[in-house]
Amino acid sequence: MTERRVSFRGRTLKGGFIVLSDKAPKLECTVRNFTKAGAALRVSTTFGLPQHFDVVIDGMARRCRSQWRTDNKIGVVFESPM
């Protein structure tokens, strides 16, 4: 598989939340790797997750879009700067 990332993603193990809307409950996720450009998230299921959503990591909310997904992992690209 060819590496297409702009920058190297270092491994991490942080807790985070996926926010779909103000009224919907936050979904817990585990941040498996992270850079200023994107992250890989582990979730209980990716079923029903939209293409665009907010993710909260270290108390900072970032708008992101799904780049790839499996049944319990999702790779995201950040659309909003840090």
Q: What CATH number has the domain bearing residue 56?
A: 2.40.10.220
Note the pLDDT tens digit of each residue in 19-68: 999 898 999 999 999 888 899 999 999 999 999 999 999 899 999 999 99
**Domains contained in the chain, number:** 1
Output the pTM of the full model: 0.82
Q: Is residue 6 part of a domain?
A: no
Q: With beta carbons less than 8 A apart as the criterion, state whether 39 and 77 touch.
A: no
Q: With beta carbons less than 8 A apart as the criterion, state whether 78 and 62 touch.
A: yes
Residue 15: domain span:
11-78
Q: pLDDT confidence of 18, banded at 50, 70, 90?
A: very high
Instruction: Indicate whether 7 pLDDT > 80.
Output: no
Give dist(CA 55, CA 52) in Å, integer: 10
Q: Is residue 62 part of a domain?
A: yes
Instruction: Indicate whether 4 pLDDT > 70.
Output: no
Q: Is residue 16 part of a domain?
A: yes
Q: Is residue 4 part of a domain?
A: no
